[in-house]
Amino acid sequence: MIDRLIDFAIRQRWLVMALVAGFVVFGVFEYKRLPIDAVPDITNVQVQINTRAPGYSPLEVEQRVTFLVETAMAGIPKLESTRSISVYGLSQVTVVFKDGTDIYFARQLVNERLQDVKSELPDGTLPEMGPVATGLGEIFLYTISAEPGARKPDGSPYTPIDLHAAQDWIIKPQLRQVPGVSEVNSIGGFDKQYQVAPDPARLLAYGVTLRDLIQALQANNVNVGAGYIERNGEQSLVRVPGQLSDLKAIGEVVITTRNGIPVRVGDVAEVGIGKDLRTGAATLDGAETVLGTAMMLIGENSRTVSLRVADKLAQVARRLPPGIKVEAVYDRTVLVNQTIATVQKNLAEGALLVIVVLFLFLGNLRAALLTAMVIPLALLATFTGMVENRVSGNLMSLGALDFGLIVDGALIIVENCVLRLAQAQHRKGRTLERNERFEVVGQATREVFKPSLVSVAVIVLVNLPIFALGGVEGKMFHPMAFAVIAALIGALVFSLTFVPAACALLLTGNIAEKDNGLVRAAKRGYAPLLRGALRARWPVVAGAVAFVVLCGWSASRMGAEFIPQLDEGDIAIGATRPPGTGIEQAVSMQKHLNLAIKALPEVDFIFARNGTADVATDPMSPGRSDVFVRFKPRAQWPDPGKAKATLIEEVETAAQSVPGTAFEFSQPIQMRMNELISGVRSDVAVKVFGDDFGELLRVSEEVRRVLARVPGAEAPKVEQVSGLPLVTVESRRTALARYGLTVADVQDAVSVTLGGKETGLIYEGDARYPLEVRLAERLRTDPEVLARLPLAREAGGYVPLAEVADIKSTEGPNQISRDNGKRRIVVMTNVRGRDLAGFVAEARNKIEREVKLPPGYYIEYGGTFEQLASASKRLTVLVPLALALIFGLLFMTFGSVKDAVLVFSGVPLALTGGVLALLLRGIPLSITAGVGFITLSGVAVLTGVVMVSAIRDLMRDGTPLEQAIVDGALLRLRPILMIGLVASLGFLPMALNTGTGAEVQRPLATVVIGGIISATLLTLLVLPALYRLAHAPGRTEPPI
């Protein structure tokens, strides 16, 4: 079948060319559709349900909102798990679905369940699903600020309220319409409110209660439609407007009459424009600002979407009120462009080097170019495969492509065609006829097609275990494995169709019959070495084995990391202040922090999100901030050569000089990913589940003590969940009864005066602002005012709050976390100096014996060790299976166990070079390096197959063993050197590049280059020696 395919390609070469051209057009079209981002998206399929419960403390939020929402989600199809947090004023339930669930289907299911639960939730709370976005979704951030000295039309300076209003009512509605934008979030400034601030003393004076005031406002602020009247054939609509429109109108609302004299809102309350009780703020350098975040829809192309957002924002900015300016502070395009530039540069340089090598060895420019043509074709095939399978392009997936590997198959074929054509010309003493040429090309392709097929199959097989990785590792590396496999299969298909057709078309005229000087020199050097190796075969093989053992030993001593972290350029700092830090306090601390860091000459600007944004995708307490530090371009640094790590240390020192804040350094994307996945990041997590908070804390503390005694435990820590200052107003029911009051009277009075009560909306065009009744700020903050808050009595007169309620200062839970519907506290520990599995077994045993659990409480064990367990279980089955398959493949190729083993022995030999190269460059082991080893084993098998099959061909023709080995090795020297050189030179730019994203690719490239050098050397010297040993005279088995 393959023969027919090759023949067809040669005969119908023009058709093949036309098909290839058609494919190029299609491939380019697909490439445009490829979603490209800097890193793979490792977010799981999740739907967030955010419910705002204004004024509720964490305990009430959990009881009244979270529990109901969570219960409603139980048993939803394809559910993986639910988790929730309840913090002040906000409930967030995250429903995680099984990987592969369609996000819109998942949202549909969640929405159905939400409909049922809505009626049970307290008034004023409305559950909303989070935006359809992932951890990579925050692609564009901008700030809105007033230009210095800018004034509003009425002459007053712009306030944070105005900036927030500009974001909410001018910028956001327009950005939301940009295709690919899922949500525009804002944080900072204040929401404008029409505030009615009653004075308790005046309420008393007029005998008006808060309830009267609220009812009056509610009853005087609606427009009503009243149908239509048809009169004399004409129909008129009836409307009864009653909406309040401005401050004056609000002040004029009549609450009641006293002796015929109206008591108006303005008589008992101050009416003004006020600020909301915000949960979040934003700072830019040393000033407050409003920060907008455009979030990208799942599956969109981050580069195009952020470009569109930037365009739209520029348009919107021109139409803003004069004096308000918008600045982009984070644009994913920058990072993606830099990353792509790095990948492109590597690819272009690699491709150039590959062409140079091909030309040098083949001595034929046409042959070199046509081999190199496979690179773009295979890439287009990869893009097509990725688009069709919804795999995103990024540093991991595109960066791992090795052109050496891609052109290997084509290279062997072209090399053999050139060789055979030259030989045929030499035999005939003239250039070939067209038919003769086709014949020779077909023959040459068939000869070496087996090694190309085997090499592709081998690399596909070694990549397969990567698909077995689950969780985060899986999401990280699946795209890469997919890209590599797609590229290879694409390359294979083109090698068998395009390459022979192109060879037949292009390799006309005189083909240099002899090796060029380079190859001749190589052969001259190689022949004596080879003979020497064959003579000293025992020492050579023993040395190789010793070398492998030595390298294996050093590999086990090497450091390891998950994957090298992509340097995003900017840094992000998670700033944490103690629980209970107020938002205004946090903002003032943040400003100081910003200024301290800004003082560094390398820093361009710095901005921060404090607390929770309007759309609570990441509920943070007011004391927590996400700080983004943007550096100037290196050229503008005082010392452009300064290492990033040194700079980060300097930032850290500057940050430490500002008291009161703890820091965690990270990068924007990395930070967001961690927040979303929110798995426990310690090695072992003991989760204590139960109902009573105090009891949970007690048990957790006990677990911590037990854990601390298990050898290997490192600083076990109980998750910080308490310490939030609370003021509790506890009604004394008997006292209330004496005054004829109810608990509801107390609750209403306190919640309205302190928390505020929204009584309606005031419309200003599209914009609408709440009309809120709340005590004036100076009164709210005074604890004495609360104690003396007069409660109006039915019978007339009043009683101060403190007479009927106890006002206590306590501490309560800062946040309440639940996993799968049960409260939990996590005790975390890392493990050093012993194996995880053993540690977990011992810890589990000890905890079971020593910690007494109250009924209904239970403990679960989690943490990263779980992932390790499942990953190693899969890998222990799949890696040997893949290797067995490779071996089977080799056996099928050669029909000889011995030869298969011989070729296989190239794998460990190849790995040694990779290990050495890593050691030399001081790069730790990582999964990327592991992928390099996978590539290496493919190359090693390929060169082995090329060499062994030549030797076997010669032996089949009757050449004696030793002669066959020498001849075969010399014959295959050129392709083997070429394979080695293209594969390693193709990666050379990647190994040496320092651009954005290079650090992720460097280990891979290093491993491949080092490994290929060793693999090539060892294939050329050790393999013949081994072959000689294995096929020692008297033991030779006839080749099948």
Per CB under 8 A, contacts with other proteins among 858-897 are: 864-865, 867-868, 871-872, 875-876, 879-880, 882-884, 887
Nearer to other proteins among residue 295 and residue 589 (C-beta): 589
Helices (H) and strands (E) counted in the chain, each on its own, are 37, 30
By the 8 A CB rule, do 774 and 780 touch?
yes
Assess 623 for contact with other proteins (CB under 8 A).
Answer: yes
By the 8 A CB rule, do 344 and 175 touch?
no
Assess 727 for contact with other proteins (CB under 8 A).
Answer: no
Least Å distance, CB 475 to other proteins, is 14
Residue span 927-966 as binding mask against other proteins, x where in contact by CB under 8 A, dash where not: x-xx--xx--x-----------------------------
Please compute Rg for the chain using Cα positions.
36
**Alpha carbons 709 and 687: distance in angstroms, whole number:** 18
Residue at 783: amino acid letter: P
Assess 546 for contact with other proteins (CB under 8 A).
Answer: no
Of 197-216, binders to other proteins (CB under 8 A) are: 199, 201-202, 204-205
Total of residues contacting other proteins (CB under 8 A): 100
Closest CA to 407 of 356, 481, 479: 356
Task: Give the one residue of 831, 951, 1000, 1008 binding other proteins; rule: CB under 8 A.
Answer: 831
SS3 811: strand
Range in contact with other proteins (rule: CB under 8 A) among 100-108, 213-221, 631-639, 652-660: 652-660
Assess 904 for contact with other proteins (CB under 8 A).
Answer: yes
Task: Give the one residue of 637, 739, 861, 891 binding other proteins; rule: CB under 8 A.
Answer: 739
Task: Give the one residue of 638, 809, 852, 1034 binding other proteins; rule: CB under 8 A.
Answer: 809
Of 78-107, binders to other proteins (CB under 8 A) are: 85
Task: Give the one residue of 19, 287, 726, 802 binding other proteins; rule: CB under 8 A.
Answer: 802
Question: In degrees, to the nearest 5, what angle opens at C-alpha 862 toward C-alphas 861 and 866?
Answer: 120
Range in contact with other proteins (rule: CB under 8 A) among 287-295, 521-529, 606-614, 924-932: 924-932
Least Å distance, CB 477 to other proteins, is 10
Task: Give the one residue of 251, 321, 790, 862 binding other proteins; rule: CB under 8 A.
Answer: 790
**Alpha carbons 52 and 130: distance in angstroms, whole number:** 12
Assess 543 for contact with other proteins (CB under 8 A).
Answer: no
Assess 465 for contact with other proteins (CB under 8 A).
Answer: yes
Kindly compute the dihedral angle of the four CA atoms of residues 130, 132, 136, 141, in this order, to the nearest 10 degrees.
-70
Sign of the C-alpha dihedral computed for residues 304, 306, 312 and 315 taken in this order = negative
Task: Give the one residue of 163, 263, 486, 555 binding other proteins; rule: CB under 8 A.
Answer: 555
By the 8 A CB rule, do 651 and 600 touch?
yes
Closest CA to 947 of 451, 583, 250, 501: 451
Task: Give the one residue of 45, 395, 907, 973 binding other proteins; rule: CB under 8 A.
Answer: 907
**Alpha carbons 972 and 508: distance in angstroms, whole number:** 24
Assess 898 for contact with other proteins (CB under 8 A).
Answer: no
Tokens 């004696």 appear where? 960
User: Who's near 288: CB < 8 A, 6+ residues apart?
Assistant: 160, 188, 189, 281, 282, 587, 591
Task: Give the one residue of 217, 589, 608, 979 binding other proteins; rule: CB under 8 A.
Answer: 589
Least Å distance, CB 602 to other proteins, is 20
Task: Give the one residue of 54, 286, 578, 995 binding other proteins; rule: CB under 8 A.
Answer: 578
Assess 842 for contact with other proteins (CB under 8 A).
Answer: no
Nearer to other proteins among residue 225 and residue 924 (C-beta): 924
Assess 899 for contact with other proteins (CB under 8 A).
Answer: no
SS3 1022: helix
Of 747-786, binders to other proteins (CB under 8 A) are: 784
**Alpha carbons 590 and 978: distance in angstroms, whole number:** 59
Range in contact with other proteins (rule: CB under 8 A) among 224-232, 242-250, 349-357, 714-722: 714-722
In DSSP terms, which residues pair with 49 in a beta bridge? 93, 129
Assess 592 for contact with other proteins (CB under 8 A).
Answer: yes
Nearer to other proteins among residue 311 and residue 794 (C-beta): 794
Assess 16 for contact with other proteins (CB under 8 A).
Answer: no
Nearer to other proteins among residue 527 and residue 708 (C-beta): 708
Question: In degrees, to the nearest 5, what angle opens at C-alpha 675 toward C-alphas 137 and 34?
Answer: 25
Range in contact with other proteins (rule: CB under 8 A) among 258-266, 333-341, 712-720, 990-998: 712-720
**Token pair for residue 119?**
């009626």
Least Å distance, CB 618 to other proteins, is 9
Task: Give the one residue of 156, 177, 259, 556 binding other proteins; rule: CB under 8 A.
Answer: 556
Assess 679 for contact with other proteins (CB under 8 A).
Answer: no
Assess 579 for contact with other proteins (CB under 8 A).
Answer: yes
Task: Give the one residue of 549, 841, 892, 897 binding other proteins; rule: CB under 8 A.
Answer: 549
Range in contact with other proteins (rule: CB under 8 A) among 358-366, 416-424, 447-455, 584-592: 584-592
> Which DSSP symbol is given to 635?
G
* Residue 44 dihedral angles phi and psi, to the nearest 5°: -80, 175
**Alpha carbons 417 and 428: distance in angstroms, whole number:** 16
**Token pair for residue 297?**
């829809």
Phi-psi map region of 781: left, alpha, beta (phi>0 left; psi -120 to 50 alpha): alpha
CB neighbours of residue 706 within 10 Å: 19
Assess 473 for contact with other proteins (CB under 8 A).
Answer: yes
**Alpha carbons 746 and 789: distance in angstroms, whole number:** 10
Range in contact with other proteins (rule: CB under 8 A) among 30-38, 300-308, 919-927, 994-1002: 919-927
In DSSP terms, which residues pair with 393 in a beta bridge? 36
Range in contact with other proteins (rule: CB under 8 A) among 310-318, 342-350, 905-913, 1013-1021: 905-913
Nearer to other proteins among residue 26 and residue 562 (C-beta): 562
Task: Give the one residue of 800, 821, 862, 1039 binding other proteins; rule: CB under 8 A.
Answer: 800
Q: How far is CA 162 from the centre of its chain?
A: 35
**Alpha carbons 1031 and 1038: distance in angstroms, whole number:** 10
Question: In degrees, to the nearest 5, what angle opens at C-alpha 842 toward C-alphas 841 and 843?
Answer: 95
Least Å distance, CB 858 to other proteins, is 22
Assess 700 for contact with other proteins (CB under 8 A).
Answer: no
Nearer to other proteins among residue 192 and residue 478 (C-beta): 478
E strand spans, 232-322: 234-240, 254-258, 261-264, 269-275, 280-284, 287-296
Nearer to other proteins among residue 830 and residue 984 (C-beta): 830
Assess 658 for contact with other proteins (CB under 8 A).
Answer: yes
Least Å distance, CB 588 to other proteins, is 7
Nearer to other proteins among residue 498 and residue 798 (C-beta): 798
Closest CA to 203 of 194, 192, 211, 193: 211
Tallying the residues shown for the chain, one arrives at: 1040
Assess 836 for contact with other proteins (CB under 8 A).
Answer: yes
Nearer to other proteins among residue 367 and residue 597 (C-beta): 597
* Residue 208 dihedral angles phi and psi, to the nearest 5°: -110, 140
Range in contact with other proteins (rule: CB under 8 A) among 129-137, 322-330, 802-810, 976-984: 802-810
Phi-psi map region of 57: left, alpha, beta (phi>0 left; psi -120 to 50 alpha): beta
**Alpha carbons 39 and 279: distance in angstroms, whole number:** 31
Least Å distance, CB 786 to other proteins, is 12
User: Who's near 530: CB < 8 A, 6+ residues apart?
Assistant: 965, 966, 969, 970, 1020, 1021, 1024
Q: How far is CA 715 from the centre of its chain?
A: 29
Residue at 933: amino acid letter: F
Assess 545 for contact with other proteins (CB under 8 A).
Answer: yes
Range in contact with other proteins (rule: CB under 8 A) among 254-262, 307-315, 393-401, 543-551: 543-551
User: Who's near 508: CB < 8 A, 6+ residues apart?
Assistant: 431, 437
